[in-house]
């Protein structure tokens, strides 16, 4: 059945709909004929076709009005990974997700699609073509990842076919695209301050970077295929561009596309890692006197210097997923969307 026919008359709520991924979700859902509510702690755009509900997802009572008459809830809210605030991550990603599950059940929502992360299995060492059967990280690389694991377990275990409540989790990796506040802006900031001169390791490590429209496509397919006895119930799915790329080739392509020089000197992985660790320790010791957010963190070094790419075969098999935008096209569209970050040619 055509997607637009299946989605006719469907009403959904995007929790975190003001965010980078959330806004792209809203745009595609509207295009596909969904009626869309947004629930978020902040309002970041205006659209007459969207009903906004402002509130904190940790508050079940605040969530309930946004879920009335809704058949699908997409939960893509999270504090930013860079905040590195353990208490906040625990409160929002774990306790807040429990509130989301409770509110969905109470409001009679039938399907809950969580945006998890492929990082839930990443411990800072190589993962090549990892499947969803890899165990959760025993030593997650940061508090963000630690609470994404708790969150995913909470949502998947809430799947309850007997009570007509179905849950699934999408695990994207390295989302990028227009309006992303993270990857390209942080990279350009680092280049401007002369910090993008070094390639960590030999530069051959393959990584997934996933265009935001492919991630959205995976979420919508998941919602449309999630039903009683389907293979999606209570399961997690990687959604990637299915084109792993050397981390440093990708970074260099973004930098040169915006007229910045690509990194060219190599620094051994372990040296970079211990330097970043030493820097974090020094900044932690100085934190009572001054707060500085480093660009160069052990977590980023691990992401920049190891292989971490994942198989999306399960999503292809169980929901008919296939990326809709190629990596080349995705990079071009992304570069065009950041004219303000482009360096003027000398
Ligand atoms: N960006 C990536 O590379 C990436 C990769 C994998 C997974 N993810 C996951 O995708 C989801 C979306 O990420 P994003 O990059 O769009 O982040 P984002 O920061 O742009 O958006 C998150 C949204 O959640 C909202 N939010 C935060 N706390 C809230 C609360 N207590 N109550 C209500 N709303 C709240 C924010 O206001 C924001 O609008 C997150 O769950 C993230 O963990 C992101
Ligand atoms: C200064 C440099 C060494 C590198 C600068 C680039 C980084 C800012 C990005 C490169 C890979 C990115 C990434 C994330 C954040 C930004 C980067 C580190 C995530 C950790 C964001 C949260 C997601 O859940 C992670 C995921 O599983 O996809 C991202 C992994 C990649």
pLDDT per position as a tens digit, 105-130 = 999 999 999 999 999 999 999 999 99
Q: What are the pocket residues of ligand 2 if the criterion is a CB atom closer than 6 Å to any ligand atom?
A: 81, 117-119, 173-174, 182-183, 186-187, 190, 295-296, 300, 303-304
| Token output for 141 | 């690389």
Beta-carbon contacts of residue 205 (< 8 Å; ≥ 6 apart): 126, 246, 247, 248, 305, 306, 307, 308
Q: How many CB atoms lie within 10 A of CB 121?
A: 23
Compute the distance between CA of residue 58 and CA of residue 98 in angstroms, rounded to an integer. 8
> Best substitution site from 146, 280, 300, 341 to test ligand 2's pocket, by max atoms within 8 Å of Cβ?
300
pLDDT tier at 9, thresholds 50, 70, 90: very low
Confidence (pLDDT) at 346: 65
Six-digit token string for 325: 């935008």
Whole-number Å distance between alpha carbons of 67 and 15: 10
Parse the chain into domains and list their residue ranges.
Answer: 3-180+208-240+310-325
Q: How far apart are CA 74 and CA 61, in angstroms?
A: 18
Residues in CB range of 96: below 8 A, 6 or more apart:
56, 57, 58, 77
Q: Using one digit for the tens of pLDDT, what is the confidence trace for 245-287?
A: 999 999 999 999 999 999 999 999 999 999 999 999 999 898 8
Q: How many CB atoms are closer than 10 A to CB 209? A: 24
- Average pLDDT for the chain: 94
Q: Are strands 72-75 and 198-200 parallel, antiparallel or unpaired?
A: unpaired
Q: Which CATH architecture has domain 3-180+208-240+310-325?
A: 3-Layer(aba) Sandwich (3.40)
Q: Minimum-distance ligand to the CA of 115? A: 1
Model pLDDT, residue 224: 97
Residue 1 has pLDDT above 60, yes or no: no
> For a pLDDT cut of 90, what percent of the chain falls above it?
88
Q: Looking at ligand 2, which residue's alpha carbon is closest to its atom 29?
A: 174
**pTM assigned to the model:** 0.95
Residue 78 alpha carbon to ligand 1 centre in Å: 4
From the alpha carbon of 183, which atom of ligand 1 is closest? 3
Q: What is the pLDDT of residues 278-336, one digit of tens each?
A: 999 999 898 888 888 888 889 899 999 999 999 999 999 999 999 999 999 999 999 99
For ligand 1, the distance from its centroid to the CA atom of residue 268, given in whole angstroms, is: 33
Q: Distance from the CA of 20 to the center of ligand 1, in angstroms?
A: 7
Q: Annotated active-site positions, please?
A: 144
How many whole angstroms from 235 Cα to the centroid of ligand 1?
21
> Which residues line the pocket of ligand 1, CB cutoff 6 A?
16, 18-22, 40-42, 56-58, 76-80, 92, 96, 115, 117, 148, 172-175, 181-182
- Nearest one of 160, 142, 54, 72 to 110, comparing CA atoms: 72
- Which residue's CA lies nearest to atom 8 of ligand 1? 117
Nearest to 99 by CA among 60, 134, 136, 72: 60
Q: What is the ipTM of this complex?
A: 0.96
Average pLDDT over residues 12-32: 98
Indicate which atom in ligand 2 lies nearest the CA of residue 173: 28
Residues 6 or more apart whose CB falls under 8 angstroms from that of 22 comprise 14, 15, 16, 38, 40, 76, 77
CA of 261 to the centre of ligand 1 (A): 30
């Amino acid at each position: 059945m055509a997607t637009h026919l299946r989605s006719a008359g469907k009403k959904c709520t995007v929790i975190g709909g003001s965010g980078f991924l959330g806004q792209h979700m809203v745009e595609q859902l509207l295009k596909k004929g969904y009626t869309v509510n947004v629930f978020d702690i902040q309002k970041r755009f205006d659209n007459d076709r969207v009903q906004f509900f402002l509130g904190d997802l940790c508050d079940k009572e605040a969530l309930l009005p946004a879920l009335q008459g809704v058949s699908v809830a997409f939960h893509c809210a999270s504090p930013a990974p860079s905040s590195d605030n353990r208490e906040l991550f625990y409160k929002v990603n774990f306790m807040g997700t429990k509130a989301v599950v409770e509110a969905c059940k109470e409001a009679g929502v039938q399907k809950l699609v969580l945006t998890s992360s492929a990082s839930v299995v990443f411990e800072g060492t190589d993962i090549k073509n990892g499947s969803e059967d890899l165990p959760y990280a025993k030593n997650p690389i940061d508090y963000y990842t630690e609470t994404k694991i708790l969150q995913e377990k909470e949502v998947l275990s809430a799947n309850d076919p007997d009570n007509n409540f179905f849950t699934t989790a999408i695990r994207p990796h390295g989302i990028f695209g227009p309006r992303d506040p993270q990857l390209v802006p942080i990279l350009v900031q680092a280049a401007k301050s002369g910090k993008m001169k070094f390639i960590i390791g030999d530069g051959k490590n393959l990584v997934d970077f996933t265009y935001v429209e492919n991630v959205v496509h995976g979420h919508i397919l998941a919602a449309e295929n999630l039903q009683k006895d389907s293979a999606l119930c209570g399961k997690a799915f990687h959604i990637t561009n299915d084109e792993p790329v050397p981390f440093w080739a990708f970074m260099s392509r973004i930098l040169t596309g915006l007229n910045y020089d690509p990194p060219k000197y190599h620094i051994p992985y372990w040296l970079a890692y211990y330097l970043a660790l030493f820097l974090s320790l020094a900044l932690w010791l100085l934190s009572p006197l001054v707060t500085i957010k480093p660009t160069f963190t052990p977590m980023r070094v691990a992401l920049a210097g190891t292989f971490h790419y994942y198989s999306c075969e399960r999503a292809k098999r169980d929901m008919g997923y296939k990326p809709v935008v190629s990596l080349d096209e995705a990079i071009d569209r992304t570069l065009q969307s950041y004219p303000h970050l482009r360096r003027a040619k000398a």
